[in-house]
Amino acid sequence: MNHFDYKNGELHAEDVALSAIAAEIGTPFYCYSTATLERHYRVFSEAMQKDALVAFSVKANGNLAVLKTLASLGAGADVVSGGELKRALAAGIPGEKIVFSGVGKTKAEMALGLKNRIYQFNVESEVELLALDEVAGALGVKAPVAFRVNPDVDAKTHAKISTGGAETKFGVPWSHVHTAYATAAKLKNIEIVGVDVHIGSQLTDLAPFEAAFTRVVELVGDLRREGHAISRIDLGGGLGVPYRNDNLPPPDPAAYGALAARITKNTGARLIMEPGRLIAANAGVLVAGVIYVKQGENKKFLILDAAMNDLIRPAFYDAYHEIVPVAAPTADTQWTHYDVVGPVCETSDIFAADRPLPVLKSDDKVAILTAGAYGATMSSAYNARPLAAEVLVKGGEWAVVRPRMDDDALFGNDRIPPWLG
């Protein structure tokens, strides 16, 4: 069941007409569905072993209301900065369900994690390990560590979101892994707890997961033989979602969960999963208004009030997002093709090229689908465009969970130096 659907001729989020929200708060805005978030979280966690930790990847969607919705279902968090850690804690996710990933954790971020007794640091290098040992020592605690290993597996996804190859900055290079664990075992303030891997995002095939997980499980056996107590395996995130209606859907969480269970079954380790996109992407849409329809030399441009600063995925990764009108098409609807663009002064500010859509006019509304992950979190105020509002719907209720950025937030923090008076 889809929670963004046409009812009474209008696109709804659950039981709320998107046009009603637009009438009240204007466009553009992100709209998230509680029911979809809950369904995705449940489907995913039910596909995993009972005691697995499902740590939602906060980078996909860090809105506190979204995090709180997931926290109330038992979700943990995967964070990559002090800011994300603070968001997760502020949303009520306890430290014991938080894992900290990322190649460049600062000592201040490590201290914040240690003070909040987070579950695990996914350490990506020996230099980072030494820094963590020092910070933990100063605080008089032991840091729970899993090394994120780089299995040198091709994730077969977009190059810009592939993280499991030896040429990327991610993870401890495979040939250094045993030395890294040996070093960790000698450090007083480090407790080795597990192994971590994350090979990339938007994977649409299970084979690369299978290759990476298999390598990791072999590694766990070797590390245990070397005397390391490996009780957890963090398999990262990365399962893809359907962005296009005309493509075969990616494997479902049940198949992915079964694969993880099969490969890890003899390890006795607790699994940690870090899904982001799978939980949030199809739980959100970006609603935009048409500013103008502009006739070009040989095409028509649909100029929206949302732009690449609001949703950068098409410009950044040539990503495809379905775009639908908020008013339901009928049998009488006239159709045409548009290049759907934003007002930002960049040629790459284009959401879709030559896209079939009903004939639209100024003030009509469209929804850009599958925008709940890596949408708002990757947005910027480029061209001094205020960050879009964010709305959460639950049944027939809706609430602004982040108001549109106001002028004060947009430039009120700039300071004029003394010489400019």
Ligand X SMILES: Cc1ncc(COP(=O)(O)O)c(C=O)c1O
Ligand Y SMILES: N[C@@H](CCCC[NH3+])C(=O)O
Query: Which residues contribute to the site for ligand Y (CB under 6 A)?
Result: 59, 161, 201-202, 313, 317, 374, 378
Please list the residues that pair with 27 across neighbouring strands: none
| Min dist. Cβ of residue 163 to ligand X (A) | 6
> Which one, of 403, 404, 401, lies nearest residue 32 by Cα?
401
Residue closer to ligand X by CB (options 3, 59) is: 59
DSSP 127-144: HHHHHHHHHHHHHT--EE
238 is in an annotated binding site: yes
- Alpha helices by DSSP H, listed for 91-125, are 107-115
Among ligand Y, ligand X, none, partner that 278 touches (CB below 5 to 8 angstroms by kind): ligand X
The answer on whether 356 is annotated among ligand-binding residues is no
Residues 300, 261: Cα–Cα separation, whole Å: 51
Could you tell which of ligand Y, ligand X, none binds residue 313, using a CB distance below 5 to 8 A set by kind?
Answer: ligand Y
Q: Which is nearer to ligand Y, 94 or 165 (CB)?
A: 165
Q: Does 276 bind ligand X (CB under 6 A)?
A: yes
Tell me which of 237, 250, 342, 375 binds ligand X, using CB under 6 A: 237
The residues in 176-235 that bind ligand X, with binding defined as CB under 6 A, are 198, 201-202
346 marked as part of a ligand binding site: yes
Cβ-based burial of 211 (10 A; exposed 0-12, middle 13-18, buried ≥19):
middle
Angle CA(336)–CA(341)–CA(346) in degrees, nearest 5? 150
- State which residue, 100 or 374, has the beta carbon closest to ligand Y: 374
User: Alpha-carbon distance 46 to 126, whole Å?
Assistant: 36
Is 313 a binding residue for ligand X by CB under 6 A? The answer is: no
Rule CB under 6 A: choose which of 95, 144, 151, 236 binds ligand X.
236
Amino acid at site 35: A
Which structure tokens are listed for 358? 């009903």
Q: Which 72-91 positions form the footprint of ligand X (CB under 6 A)? A: 78
Q: How far is the CB of 208 from ligand X (least distance, A)?
A: 12
Quick check: 183 and 139 in contact, CB under 8 A? no
Among 113, 171, 253, 275, binds ligand X (CB under 6 A): 275
Spell out the residues 6+ positions from residue 139 whose beta carbon is closer than 8 angstroms to its own: 111, 114, 115
CB of 284 to ligand X, least distance (A): 13
Residue 244 marked as a ligand binder? no
Task: Find out whether 6 is annotated in a ligand binding site.
Answer: no
Cβ at position 278, least distance to ligand X in Å = 6
Q: Considering CB under 6 A, how many residues would be counted as binding ligand X?
A: 15
Q: Is residue 274 a known part of a binding site?
A: yes
238 binds, among ligand Y, ligand X, none (CB under 5 to 8 A by kind): ligand X
In sequence order, what are the residues at sequence separation of 6 or more whose Cβ sits closer than 8 angstroms to the Cβ of residue 67? 56, 58, 61, 77, 87, 88, 91, 92, 93
Q: Convert 27-51 to b/e letters by CB count within 10 Å (16 or more is b).
A: bbbbbbbbbbbbbbbeebbebbeee
Give the integer Cα–Cα distance in Å for 365 and 276: 28
Q: How many Å apart are CA 158 and CA 165, to the nearest integer?
A: 12
Indicate which of ligand Y, ligand X, none lies near residue 28 (CB less than 5 to 8 Å, by partner kind): none
Sign of the dihedral through C-alpha 394, 397, 403, 404: positive
Q: Which is nearer to ligand X, 102 or 325 (CB)?
A: 102
Q: Is 277 annotated as a binding residue?
A: yes
382 is annotated as contributing to ligand binding: no
Residue of 127, 345, 384, 420 marked active site: 345
345 as an active site residue: the answer is yes
Listed residue (311, 341, 293) closest to 29, CA to CA: 311
Instruction: Pick the closest to residue 103 from 190, 187, 198, 183 (CA basis).
Output: 198
Task: Report the residue from 60, 271, 285, 393 that binds ligand X according to the rule CB under 6 A.
Answer: 60
CB-count exposure of residue 320 (10 Å: 0-12, 13-18, 19+): middle
Q: Tell how strand 10-13 and strand 16-17 pair up.
A: antiparallel
**Residue whose CB is less far from ligand X, 27 or 370:** 370
Does the annotation flag 92 for ligand binding?
no
Q: Which option in ligand X, ligand Y, none does residue 236 bind, with CB closer than 5 to 8 A by kind?
A: ligand X
Q: Which is nearer to ligand Y, 200 or 289 (CB)?
A: 200
Per-residue contact flags (x/-) with ligand X for residues 93 to 132, judged by CB under 6 A = --------x-------------------------------
Nearer to ligand X, 28 or 236 (CB): 236
131, with CB counted inside 10 A (0-12, 13-18, 19+), is middle
Residues at the binding site for pyridoxal 5'-phosphate are: 238, 274-277, 374
Residues at the binding site for substrate are: 277, 313, 317, 346, 374
Q: Which residues are part of the catalytic machinery?
A: 345
Residues that bind ligand X (CB under 6 A): 57, 60, 78, 101, 198, 201-202, 236-238, 274-278
